[in-house]
């Protein structure tokens, strides 16, 4: 930084500190005094002040629907091991049958959300697309 004709240094970083109220009153007075006589620093002040306003004016951002709900719902893992130690005779026989028999057909996942989307897209073809499809833009939550 070069010395100004009045002998003080350009404040540089202190300009932002001034805007953020981080300077003591003495420091603040010194910066203000410098600004009176320095066009370059006034421009710099203006620039960072504008950028500061822009960021301060940014609105809050909402998390996508369900982000926290998904994290708050406890995960209930399906336990696959049989507690063989506690099995009575009949259950032991049944367990043998299950292991010997061919694997039963995989159960059908309700997948309600998928079916809703399939329906909404089919229905919108013959009707008003906005009112038929807007509901599909809302996530389906069937777990409470």
Q: Which of residues 48-67 bind other proteins (CB under 8 A)?
A: 48, 50-67
Owner of token pair 């329906």: 119
Task: Compute the distance between CA of residue 135 and CA of residue 144 in angstroms, rounded to an integer.
Answer: 19
Closer CB to other proteins, 4 or 136, in the complex: 136
Q: Whole-number minimum distance, CB 116 to other proteins, in Å?
A: 5
Residues in the chain, total:
144
Q: Is 124 one of the binding residues for other proteins (CB under 8 A)?
A: yes
Instruction: In whole angstroms, give the CA distance from residue 86 to residue 3.
Output: 87
97 alpha-carbon distance from chain centroid: 49
Q: Does residue 94 touch other proteins according to CB under 8 A?
A: yes
For residue 49 the two structure tokens come to 């002040």
Residues linked to residue 28 through DSSP beta bridges, in sequence order: none
Number of residues that bind other proteins (CB under 8 A): 85
Site for other proteins in 8-27 (CB under 8 A): 12-17, 20, 22
Q: Which two tokens stand for residue 31?
A: 């910066």
- Tell me if 107 contacts other proteins by CB under 8 A: yes
Check residue 133 for interaction with other proteins (CB under 8 A): yes
- Point out which span in 1-9, 27-35, 98-106 binds other proteins (CB under 8 A): 98-106
């Amino acid at each position: 930084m070069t010395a100004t004709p009045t002998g003080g240094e350009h404040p540089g970083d202190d300009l932002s500190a001034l805007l953020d109220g981080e300077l003591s009153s003495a420091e603040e007075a010194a910066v203000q005094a410098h600004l009176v006589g320095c066009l370059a620093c006034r421009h710099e002040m203006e620039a960072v002040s504008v950028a500061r306003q822009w960021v301060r004016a940014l609105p809050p951002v909402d998390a996508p629907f369900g982000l926290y709900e998904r994290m708050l719902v406890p995960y209930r893992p399906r336990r696959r091991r049989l507690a063989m130690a506690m099995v009575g005779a009949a259950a032991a026989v049944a367990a043998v049958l299950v292991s010997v028999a061919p694997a039963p057909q995989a159960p059908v996942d309700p997948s309600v959300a998928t079916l809703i989307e399939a329906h909404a897209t089919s229905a919108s073809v013959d009707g008003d697309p906005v009112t038929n499809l807007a509901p599909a833009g809302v996530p389906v939550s069937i777990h409470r």
